[in-house]
């Protein structure tokens, strides 16, 4: 029998994975710092609810200090700003020939590789939607892309094994030799999601408002410009093609993708992003620095200006620190820094 899969961070993403794997008879141990959540998961069970399916599953769970032994497969699913702290705690439990899979948004694989070694790091792009509601309760709002790949692009037996495991949860999971392409594609979408969290409205309402499009286009373009400077060719999901935001592409191509995002985000029970939830519900800091701030840092290294991203980071900090509300006026502060769209731009039809 292989050792259990250790899931470090049993919130919206880690908890959903853990419940599905445990229900399928796969041996898992979830680790989380929220004592009441750990207790609920391992006693009465973790309740997965929402439009996909509802079930309650007892899942073995522990606080970090309760973990013993070493594990060959660790799925890291904490928010990006907790990555380094979580890595320090889990490292003694990572087998010498094991690996950590980042089931997170952002470029956490860089930090994980630095701490655990590149050989012990695997990448993952997760785009399903889930919310941690309270101890023992998670909303699984919509299915979404799950993509697994090694950070050096090779596909190894362990990569195939993790891909099979992900298929237990999401049958359409993808195995890739280009995980960085997917991670940068998510950064383009992710930057826009941070933008939507400047307001109190849903993701879909934000994407559907033509007056707000200059912000989404500018953010997408800046992420693409930095990705290009780093020789990454970002990949999308569904019909979202981040390359439509690449330098030189007409505004109409970008707008067609934003129209698709408005539709895509209207079909989930998770109406607002995790960023919005951190600010409006959890009243806590977001992942903006490790996820979006880093793009500006990489841009400066490559001589690529990122004024919209920089303004976005500052505005999110303003909300975190109570200097501004989540409101259309706060988003307007971002739009004011973004170039206007070409006057004749109307969304080009998306390719079938």
Ligand X SMILES: NC(=O)C1=CN([C@@H]2O[C@H](COP(=O)(O)OP(=O)(O)OC[C@H]3O[C@@H](n4cnc5c(N)ncnc54)[C@H](OP(=O)(O)O)[C@@H]3O)[C@@H](O)[C@H]2O)C=CC1
Ligand Y SMILES: CC(C)(CO)C(=O)C(=O)O
Residues that bind ligand X (CB under 6 A): 8-9, 11-14, 31-34, 37, 64, 77-80, 82, 85-86, 89, 104-105, 126-127, 129-130, 132, 270, 274, 287
Buried b / exposed e along 18-27 (16+ C-beta atoms within 10 A): bbbbbbeebe
Residue 8, contacted partner among ligand Y, ligand X, none, CB below 5-8 A by kind: ligand X
Residue 13, contacted partner among ligand X, ligand Y, none, CB below 5-8 A by kind: ligand X
93 with 99: CB under 8 angstroms?
Answer: no
For the segment 231-270, give every residue that binds ligand Y (CB under 6 A). 270
Closest to ligand X by CB, 138 or 217: 138
**Residue number of the CB atom closest to ligand X:** 11
Least distance to ligand Y from the beta carbon of 120, Å? 25
Least distance to ligand X from the beta carbon of 221, Å? 22
Phi, psi of 46 (to 5 degrees): -95, 125
Closest to ligand X by CB, 32 or 241: 32
Closest to ligand Y by CB, 12 or 243: 12
Q: Which long-range contacts (C-beta less than 8 Å, at least 24 apart) are formed by 14-17?
A: 14/75, 14/77, 14/78, 14/103, 15/41, 15/46, 15/48, 15/59, 15/130, 15/132, 15/138, 16/48, 16/128, 16/130, 16/138, 16/140, 16/169, 17/75, 17/77, 17/103, 17/169
Residue 306, contacted partner among ligand Y, ligand X, none, CB below 5-8 A by kind: none
Least distance to ligand X from the beta carbon of 261, Å? 15
For the segment 141-200, give every residue that binds ligand Y (CB under 6 A). 144, 193
Residue 121, contacted partner among ligand X, ligand Y, none, CB below 5-8 A by kind: none
- The span of 63-71, 157-165, 214-222, 271-279 binding ligand Y (CB under 6 A) equals 271-279
What is the per-residue DSSP string for 107-169? SHHHHHHHHH-GGGEEEEEE--EEEEEETTEEEEEE---EEEEETTS---HHHHHHHHHHHHH
Closest to ligand X by CB, 64 or 250: 64
Measure Cα distances from 307 to 81, 207, 234, 262, 337 in Å.
23, 21, 21, 24, 7
Strands 28-31 and 174-175, sheet pairing = unpaired
Closest to ligand X by CB, 12 or 331: 12
Closest to ligand X by CB, 33 or 326: 33
Residue 82, contacted partner among ligand X, ligand Y, none, CB below 5-8 A by kind: ligand X
Note the residues at the interface with ligand Y (CB under 6 A): 105, 127, 129, 144, 193, 270, 273-275
């Amino acid at each position: 029998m292989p050792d259990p899969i250790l899931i470090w961070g049993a919130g919206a993403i880690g908890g959903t994975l853990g419940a599905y794997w445990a229900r399928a008879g796969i041996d898992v141990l979830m680790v989380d710092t929220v004592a009441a959540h750990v207790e609920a998961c391992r006693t009465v069970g973790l309740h997965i609810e929402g439009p996909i399916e509802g079930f309650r599953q007892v899942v073995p769970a522990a606080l970090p200090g309760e973990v013993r032994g070493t594990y060959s497969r660790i799925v890291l699913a904490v928010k990006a700003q907790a990555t380094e702290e979580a890595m320090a705690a889990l490292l003694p439990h990572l087998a010498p020939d094991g690996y950590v899979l980042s089931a997170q948004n952002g470029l956490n694989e860089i930090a994980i590789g630095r701490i655990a070694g590149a050989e012990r790091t695997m990448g993952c792009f997760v785009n399903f939607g889930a919310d941690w509601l309270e101890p023992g309760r998670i909303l699984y709002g919509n299915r979404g892309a799950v993509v697994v790949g090694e950070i050096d692009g090779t596909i190894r037996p362990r990569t195939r094994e993790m891909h099979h495991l992900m298929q237990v949860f999401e049958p359409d999971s993808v195995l890739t030799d280009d995980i960085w392409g997917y991670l940068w594609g998510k950064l383009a979408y992710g930057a826009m999601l941070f933008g939507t969290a400047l307001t109190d409205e849903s993701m879909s309402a934000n994407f559907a408002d033509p007056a707000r499009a200059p912000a989404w286009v500018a953010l997408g373009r800046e992420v693409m410009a930095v990705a290009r400077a780093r020789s990454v060719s970002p990949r999308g999901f569904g019909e979202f093609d981040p390359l439509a935001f690449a330098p030189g592409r007409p505004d109409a191509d970008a707008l067609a993708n934003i129209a698709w995002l408005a539709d895509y985000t209207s079909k989930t029970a998770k109406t607002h992003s995790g960023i919005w939830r951190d600010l409006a519900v959890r009243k806590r800091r977001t992942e903006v620095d490790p996820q979006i701030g880093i793009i500006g840092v990489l841009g400066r290294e490559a001589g690529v200006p990122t004024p919209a991203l920089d303004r976005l980071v500052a505005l999110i900090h303003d909300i975190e620190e109570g200097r501004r509300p989540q409101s259309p006026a706060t988003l307007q502060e971002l739009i004011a820094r973004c170039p206007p769209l070409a006057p004749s731009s109307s969304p080009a039809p998306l390719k079938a």
